[in-house]
Each structure stands twice: as C-alpha cells, then as structure tokens.
Chains A and B, each alone.
Chain A
Amino acid sequence: MVDATLVKPDLDFVKGVIAAGGESLKKCYQCATCTVVCNVTPEENPFPRKEMVWAQWGLKEKFQGNPDVWLCHQCNDCTAYCPRGAKPGEVLGAIRKQSIREYSAPDFLVDLVNDKKFMALLFIAPAILLAVVIAAFGNFGIPGGEVVFTKFLPVLPIQLIFTPALIFGIAVGVLGVKKFWVDMKRANGVRTGDLKGSVIETAKEVLAHKKFKSCGINADRYASHLLVFYSFVALGIATLIGALYIDILHIESPFSFGRGTLVKLFGNAGAIALLVGVTMMITNRFKHQEKLGLGSYFDWLLLCIIATVALSGFLAQLTRIAGAAAIAYPIYFIHLVFVLSLFIYLPFSKLAHMFYRGAAMCFMKYSGREAQQAAAVSTTPGTGQSSGPGKETGSE
C-alpha cells in the first residue's frame, strides 16, 4: 500500500490567503512555468508551484516552518510568465503575510496593520500619543523665533518614546524569528548546523544584494532596494552619531557645520538615497503594472510609510533652514508620526521581511540545502541554474 499523508484542507486558510492579496491564487493550474522561470528557487523541491497548490488546498501546516516562501524575493518573473494570470509572486506575498501573522505576536496587530479599514487608526494612534507627549514636554503649537525642533519637542521624550518603540519592533521580530527557526528545523528535519557561518554568509549575501541580481523582468529592483537598504544604514549611522553628540558629548542640536558635518553628511546622503530609492520602487510598480500588477495594500502601506518618512524628513530640514516655522513644525510632526509607525509596525508590516527572509536565507545554509544544490549543479555539466536536473517535471 502507498504511504500516504492524511491531508486536511482548510477552506478558511484559502480564503485568508485570497483576502491577504492572493486573489489570483485559484487561477493556478499547476503547469509549473513559475518554478521553471524562477531564478532564486533551489533546484530540489523548488517553489512556487508547490506553494500554489498547497495554498489552494488550504494545507496550512505546510506553511509552518516553510523557508521557501521567504526565499522568494518577489521579483515577479513568475507572475510575468504565468499563462493563467495566477500571479504566484503576489500569492507568495500574501502567504508571507500569513506567515508574519503566524510568527509576529500579537497577531491582531498584523491584522490591524494590514487591513485597509484601519488605515486611519494606524496613524492617528501614534499621532495622538505624540501630541500628548509634545503637549506635556514641549510646545504643541508653532514656537516662535528661529526654527529649532527641540523647542517643539525636546530630545529626551523623543528618545524615551522612539527607543522603546524600536526595541519593541526588533524584539517582536527576533522572537518571531526564534519561533520560525524552531519550526523550520522541525518541519525540515534539521537538527544541527553551522549557525555562525550561516549568519555571516547570509549577511554577506544581503549586503551584496546578490539575490536581486538574478531577477529577470524586474531587474531594476536591484538598484532601488539597494538604495533604500543602504539609506537606512546611513540614516541609522547618522542617528547614532547624533545620539552620541547629544547624550555623551552634550552637544545640542541643530548641529552646526564642523562638528555636525558627519551627521549632516550621513543624514542627507541617506535621505536623498531613500527618496530616490523609494521613488524608483514606486515608479517601477507603475512601469511593470501590466505584467506584474500594482501590488497589494500590504506592499503599498510600507512604500507609503517610507516615502512619507523620507519626504517629511527632508522637507523638515529644508523648511527649518528656510525658517518657515508654520510649515516646518507640522512637517516635523508628520515625520515623527511616520518614523514612530515604522518602528512599531516593523515586525507586522511588510518590513518584517528583514527578519523572516533573513532567517530563511540563513536556514538554507544552516540546513545544508544550498550546499547540496551547489554540488548538484557543479556535477551536472551544461546545466545552468534555471535548467538543472532537479527542477520540476513539466519544465521540459
């Protein structure tokens, strides 16, 4: 007799994926074109074909500890080539959202962040919080004289709110990754591996943006994501130096040239790179709209937060220098609200990918799957990455 697994299809899971932006899920008829054109999938048990059918069948448990949905970088080559408009890229995005919901606790925040209905609440809540804090510690209004943002809200309350928010975001993400890691090990029957080496290798890969280079249709994403990624690094550095100046060296902001040059350099370079990067991301979406679709709310929420953060930050600086207090303070307020949102929603929004994708990429190395694949490819002469022997049947 055949050794068969009892499957328990869950209709609600199917509906959940559809509601999360995978409305094209059911169009898939399993031709496996997606898997064949995908440049980032492993050769053995490649994605996204199998994920499509699992999702159609509501096989929820298949997605617990599934690193593959996170290995996908959503370059959407699959979506571009899908003969039935099933948009595997979008569906995997929706499944990732479900995965975030599974691992980032509390899950109601995932629902809240990713439901269009609550969009207003998403920003009003931090706005009210900030408004209360400003009223208590600063000057909730338009302070007179030279535009100095600390008049509006001093540094200490900012730090007292933003630092815990960031720590909260990161902590939720880290805890989620921990749970995810345990699930991946269990689901894939992996006991042990080289964790340190895997983390280092993954970090190198992320810093070099290696995976993005293999995308076909949407190749310009390499540049935009690289810009956004390094702009955040630069802005992070600028913030750290700023904190150093204020808390250790006790230099008041705004910093003047000379001592403040380093902060300004990193801050402005980061801001410009972020603006350019996020603009490219948005225009790319329109450019590829016909083939790939515009994307879901999940995608756009993050794009809009980042775009607003970048734009408001940059404008706040310009208006400050220009001395236009009536505009500068409100813009600064918006900037604060969106940065706070970015921090709090870090593990619940699409930005959570930095945790889970990182973990999945790391697990590929940790479990030895990547090494196996490299060995298989190198011992098979004349096969490139996308036509290896381990690739799904149906590719011929």
Chain B
Amino acid sequence: MEKKIGVYICKGCDIANAVEIEKLEEVAVKEHQIPVCKSHDALCSPGGLDLIKNDISAEVVNTIVIAACSPRVKYREFSFPGNVVERSNIREFVAWTQEPKTEDTQALAEDYMRIGITKAKNSELPEPFLLEEMDKSVLVVGGGISGMTSALGAADAGYNVILVEKQEELGGWAKKMHRQLPRSYPFESPEKPTVNDTIDRVRAHSNIKVFTSSEIEKISGVPGMYDVSIKTAGGTEQVKAGSVILAAGWRPYDASKLEHLGYGKCENVITNIQMEEMAAEGGITRPSDGRKAKRVAFIQCAGSRDPGHLPYCSSVCCLTSLKQASYVRESAPDAIAYILYKDMRTPGQYELFYKKMQDDPGIMLTKGEVVDVTEGANGNVEITLKDTFLGESIKLEADLVVLATGMVPNTTIDSDVLGEWKKKFDEELAASGGKPDPNAPLEPHKVPNILHLEYRQGPELPQLTEAYGYPDSNYICFQYETRRTGIYAAGSIRQPMHMLGSIEDAMGASLKAIQCIEATANGYAVHPRAWDQTYPEVNLQKCTSCKRCTEECPFGAIEEDEKGTPFHKMTRCRRCGTCLGSCPERVINFKDFSINMISSMFKALDVPEEGLRLIGLACENDAYPALDSLALDRSRMNPAYRFVPVRCLGNLNLAWIADALSRGIDGMILLGCKFGENYQCHFVRGSELASERLGKLQETLGRLMLEPERVKLVQLSIQEYDLLPGILDEFADELGEMEPNPFKEF
C-alpha cells in the first residue's frame, strides 16, 4: 500500500498561542514534502475531525499525523480504522510546559513534528496474528473452592471447562471444615459448609468435565492451543485448552517446625487444622486423655510473620481462630477461648465478625508475645506471654492449645526438594560438558511441580524471592496475571485468602481466562497492551542464535528449534518488545515500532551547532503519563529534551544510543520504572534489563570517544512526576558542563 501521509495540526488548547503554526506546517510541507498539511482551531471537534475524515474518504491520505494533544487522550476521536495514526504531543510537551513563542519552544515543537512524521513514515498497519487452530476450553487445575468457582464461572459463560483434581473428591479444604466463615452481611455467625452445593453444581454442569485422582503430566503449546496430558487413575488423557487457571491451593505450614510453641512437645498442643477436624468430628477434647477441653488457648501467627518461618501474614488465621473460638464457646457455657495475638487482622467486612466474636464474654483476647509453652500438671499446657495488654508478663493455663498456622502455596518447593533438584541439574549440566555453579540458587520454577509446562524457561510459574513462593505478577496493576500468558492463578495459591476472597478471585480468573481466549482468537495481545495487534517479527536470516531474546523474554514466549534458532510462540507474547531491545543484530521489529524507526526519528531531529539537545526515552506506561501529569500542572519542562515513548524501557537497544549520539545529540535520559523485588514494570524487568545493557555502554561509546555519563537511567514511579523537572534540569546541567557533543559539526 502506497503511503499517503497527511499532517493535521491543532491550534486549540493554547497550542497556537505557544508556537507559530505556519512554521510547523513548513516542517511538514517543505522539509518532509508532505502533500497534505492542514490546521484547525479544534481538531477534535466535529469540524476538525471532518477535515481528516474527508481526506480519508477522498483517498488523499491513509497515514495520519496528528500534531495536537497527548496520545493518552482523545484516542477515541482520533481513531481512523484502516489508517496508520500517529500523534505528535505538542500540547502537553510544548504548549503546556514551555515558555510561549520563544525560539526554543518553536524548535521543540518542530522537532516533535519531525518525530511524528518520521514515525508515520516507518509505521505499517498491523496484520493480526491468528492461530491456525484454536481451542476455547479452559483448563482448571485444582478442584477446591477456587477451582470449582472458576470452572463454574467459565462454564456458565458458555466455555467448556476441564477440571483436574488430585484428590479422589472435589472440595479441597472447604470440604474439611466444620463451619465456614459467613459469606454475607452481617458477617456475624459461622455458617454450615456450602461446598457440597458447589460440588453438585460442578458435577451437574454439562460444560464441565471433571478428572479426579488426576494430575497434570504435561502442558505444551500456547494460549489458544494448549495440549494437555492428564495422568488419571486409569492412564493418560489428552485434552486441548485455550487458557489455564491454576487453583491448586495451599498447604498448612509444617507445625513440626514449631516446637518452641509446644508442638510435638506437649500432647495437648494441636494445629488449627487438627482443631477443625476435631470439631467436625463433634467435640473438642484433649488428645492426651480425651477429656473435654474447657479452656482453649489459640496462639496466633504460629510460624507466621516470623523471618525464621513464614515471613508473611496469611490473613485468614485470625478469622479461623475466632471461628474456632465459637466452637469452644458452643461446647459449654463455662468454656473459655483465649486468643493470644501479635495483631488481630480481619480484613475487609470481617471486622464485623471479629466484633461479634469479641463480644462473647468467654472469648478473651490479648496481644502478647509467646515466650514459652510447657506441659504442666494433668496434661495442662502453660503458656508464658510477655508484652501483653494486661500490663505484665502472664502465665496462662489451658486444657488445649491451638496453633494458628499459616498458608503455604502449593507452588512452594521445599528447600530440601529444591536442593535435590539442584544437584540433579548440576550433574546433568556437568555430563553435557557445562560448568555448574554450585552457589547459584536454583529458581523454584525450574522444578516440575504442578503445571509441567513445556517451556524453555522452566515447567512452572516464575516466582520472586519476596513473593514467598507465590507466582510473580505485577502486584499493583495485574494481580491475576502470572508470567505465563494464558495462565492465571486464583485463590490461595496466588495470595493467602479466605474462602470469600477465593470465590471472588476465582471469578476474576475465569474472566481473565476468557479474555485471553477471545483476544487470542482475534489476534490481539492480552493485558496490558490489550488493543495491540502487532507482534514481533524476526528476520531469522540474520539471527545468530545468541539466545539473548529467549532468556530475557519475561513471559517465556520464545522457544528454540533443534538448531537453537529462536522463534516466538506468538500468542504467549505480550508485545513488550524486550526481545527487540535484547537483539544485538537488530532483527526483531514490530509493524509500528522498530529499531530503525526510532533511529530514524533521532536522525530527523534538527541539531544546531549551538545549544543543548537531549533525548528522553520514556516508558509508555509510567514515565510518559508522568510527563503528561506535569503538563496538567502546567509545570515548566526543560526545553532541551525531546521525548520519545517506548513500549517499555526493556526496548532499549544500544544501537539507538550510538545513533543518537553520533547525530550530535548531547545526551539521553532513560525514564523507566522502579525495579528490584518491588518492581513496578508492566513487563517485569524492562528497566532492569535496560540498566544491565547500559553496563555495556562503555564499549559502544568508547568507539565514538564519548563519555558514558551522557546516558542516564532514572527509575521513576508514576506518582513522582513532580520530581521530573528537577531530575531533567539536573541532567541538563551536568551535560551543560561537559564539552558539547563533537559530532554536532558533522
């Protein structure tokens, strides 16, 4: 298709007050020979839009550059399907943040015209990637309350569901309960378990196929077309699925590690799980003598919020103990339940449950630190507590002690198991001629456990050290997401939660699973680029099989063929472009975003011999909105910068830096997200990878005889936009003190 570019300049929102529109038109018409260039007082008004639409209908233009506001606003108005649309942000980046009608301001606006026009010249319309064959079933792994709810959610929406449960029967922990927490207002009394109704609904649903006593043997393929082998009691079943919900639940923390709280040492110290079982069997008695327990002490945070055990709060144990305290109180009018806590945590509406239980005179609570649990006379347990509310250290005698142990996700690989696998992998590596590093920790997702994914990056979902065994996700923006597209974690395997939380979570996960299937069917990416139909295209002839892309892909979307040549499993891809940045041969590109395009944009800039010229690469998700926020505040921005949005700072290809600096640009600032354990990157490691790549900058700049200080990476979170003017000025000052870039004269 022949490109027919039209440039449309908006004069509204103070733009015409800040710059000479005619001169902007000259950039398009004279410098870039664009045949169609028009301006309008308010381009987003019906009249302005008609201007564009008429040109489109007259087939005068098919590639539209709109020089107006930020691409983050008015995207509905400036949407012209079937045409390439580019936006030059001269409102936020120029009119709202610069001194009006100065030379610098005019130059800045003209450069944004050049950037936009160059990008339009290098952009193509996307051709969606579609799978040849698709299956729209949802595979649900785990038949507890979360898994069953997810299954019902998807099945009720008309999707076929395959539900795989390891145990002989459905129900999971919910089935083992004596009473469950109330699920609705007024959240006051424990209810009889309702899990059997859910099981019955699942069993009766025509869209759900249940495999019990079954486990996943292997999952290969891609979102939209997974091939799943299920190991059943009778053999192996092969099924297909479009997306996967992981709801394999949790296990209680191993109480045998809690000897300091009397477990294993005193016969009458049990766990909350044992308490629940005992209550379900009908009677709260002491293991030592079978006598009715009248004084029951609950020790909260048993092995939780403790760096030596589980460092986190499971958020349900306080509620469970309150619930179990009600069992104690129901057992006899003079029975007493003591709740000894670090902090009572009853999230959300369950504050009402806490209040109700606390109102019972026989439920006595105090904060305190348990220092000792010993066996006294007649099998009684003596608990010593310090730092209590009672104003002194106390000793308390109980018939029975219940340890409120926390939740461990079933994705956690115990350290001894991890050690065995580490040994095994190291031996395999040594046998194949590699050099194993005995000190390098084995990432838990490399150990086959639940999903058995056939992914180059490992069979399970990646975790973060500080996610404590829970699957890694962008906690702020996409909690359901895992780092495997199409696979969604739900319930207590994602985060510790109570049953009501699990039910909500499971519904959310089924929606996500359905979205993924439908996005895949239509050739769209899934979150966070859900509108995007482009995808990475690789010029394999030039690929050297260096494997950087396969290793750096945050989502395990790139596999290798037998010869070691990488290829994208496209529907696993989230279109972040990390691979584009990683490729030293620059062979990975998108239709509307390529190495060459960005380089061309830099080359198109006007670089005068005098005066500072700086480029800012801004992450589209956080840094770019932060710049826009600055404009909304009408803050002044240093006029030396030209900002170019990138999909993620992980797009950073060192070639860009070389191209920009050899063009005479004085320096580059890279605005990315915070990285590390509490990362904010939408694509996990983008800014971190960019920072790693900058480690090799010396090599690149050494060839050009330029200082590495000319490039600076800034980690910025979106709400820190107010820091930006200072950051930008500081960097500009630093560069101002350096010699001008010697390449300016070329």
Contact = CB atoms under 8 A, between A and B. Distances in A.
A18 B361 CA distance: 8
Interface string A64-92: 00000000000000000000100000000
Contact of A27 (B355, B389, B394): B355
B361 A4 contact: no
B361 A59 contact: no
Contact of B359 (A15, A27, A30, A59): A27
B342 to A, nearest CB: 13
A2 B386 contact: yes
A291 interface: no
Interface stretch (B58-66, B76-84, B364-372, B570-578): B364-372
Contact of B395 (A4, A9, A26): A4
B225 to A, nearest CB: 54
Interface string B380-399: 00001110011111111100
A23 to B, nearest CB: 9
Interface in B332-358: 334, 336, 338, 344, 355, 358
A4 B391 contact: no
Interface stretch (A50-58, A165-173, A260-268): A50-58
Contacts of B367: 30
A342 B219 CA distance: 87
Q: How large is the interface on A (under 10, 10 to 19, 20 to 34, 35 or more residues)?
A: 20 to 34
Contacts of B385: 4
B356 to A, nearest CB: 10
A1 interface: yes
Contact of B389 (A14, A15, A53): A53
A133 B479 CA distance: 85
Contact of A4 (B338, B355, B365, B384): B384
Interface residues of B, number: 28
> B338, B364, B393: which has the most chain A beta carbons within 10 Å?
B364
B394 A29 contact: no
A57 B361 contact: no
A50 B372 CA distance: 24
Given A2-B386, A57-B364, A11 B395 contact: no
B254 interface: no
Given A11-B336, A27-B355, A5 B393 contact: yes
B360 interface: yes
B442 to A, nearest CB: 42
Contacts of B386: 2, 4
A188 interface: no
Contacts of A14: 361-362, 364
Contacts, number: 70
A45 to B, nearest CB: 7
Nearest to A49: B389
B366 to A, nearest CB: 7
Interface in A350-389: none
B297 to A, nearest CB: 11
A6 interface: yes
A396 interface: no
Nearest to A32: B389
Interface in B419-463: none
A378 B338 CA distance: 42
Nearest to B388: A53
A84 B390 CA distance: 19
B299 to A, nearest CB: 15
A160 interface: no
Contacts of A30: 366-367, 389
A6 B394 contact: yes
A6 B393 CA distance: 9
B361 A5 contact: no
B362 A11 contact: yes
A7 interface: yes
Given A2-B371, A2-B384, A6-B397, A27 B390 contact: no
Nearest to A15: B361
B159 to A, nearest CB: 46
A50 B391 CA distance: 7
A3 interface: yes
Contact of A29 (B344, B362, B390, B395): B344
Contacts of B364: 9, 14, 56-58
A26 B359 contact: yes
B463 to A, nearest CB: 36
A53 B361 contact: no
Given A1-B372, A27-B358, A7 B336 contact: no
A7 B368 CA distance: 14
B219 to A, nearest CB: 48
A18 B364 CA distance: 14
A11 B361 contact: yes
Interface string A305-329: 0000000000000000000000000
Nearest to A13: B361
A8 B372 CA distance: 18
Given A6-B397, A29-B358, A45 B391 contact: yes
Most chain-A CB neighbours within 10 Å: which of B338, B371, B390?
Answer: B390
A57 B359 contact: no
B261 to A, nearest CB: 15
A9 B394 CA distance: 11
Interface string B715-735: 000000000000000000000
A5 B358 contact: no
- Max count, chain B CB within 10 A of own CB: residue among A15, A25, A26, A50: A26
B538 to A, nearest CB: 60
Nearest to B344: A29
Nearest to A26: B359
A25 B361 CA distance: 9
Contact of B394 (A4, A18, A26, A45): A4
A3 B393 CA distance: 7
A11 B336 CA distance: 8
A2 B394 CA distance: 9
Contacts of A59: 390
A8 to B, nearest CB: 8
Nearest to B372: A1
A53 B390 contact: yes
A58 B363 CA distance: 11
B338 to A, nearest CB: 8
Contacts of A54: 390
Contacts of A50: 389-391
A50 B392 CA distance: 11
B393 A2 contact: yes
A59 to B, nearest CB: 7
Contacts of A15: 361
A57 B366 contact: yes
Contact of A57 (B344, B390, B397): B390
Interface in A207-246: none
Interface string B394-413: 11110000000000000000
Interface in A1-47: 1-9, 11, 14-15, 18, 25-27, 29-30, 45
A26 B358 CA distance: 6
A7 B361 contact: no
Chain B CB count within 10 A is highest, among A7, A30, A59, for A7
A24 to B, nearest CB: 9
Contacts of A27: 355, 358-359
Interface string B312-336: 0000000000000000000000101
Contacts of B372: 1-2
A30 to B, nearest CB: 5
Given A5-B395, A6-B397, A26 B361 contact: yes
Contacts of B391: 45, 50
A203 B395 CA distance: 42
A7 B360 contact: no
18 contacts: A1-B371, A1-B372, A2-B384, A4-B384, A4-B394, A5-B392, A5-B394, A6-B396, A7-B395, A7-B396, A9-B336, A11-B361, A26-B358, A27-B355, A29-B358, A45-B391, A53-B390, A57-B364
Closest 6 CB pairs of A and B: A4-B393, A4-B395, A14-B361, A2-B393, A6-B395, A53-B389
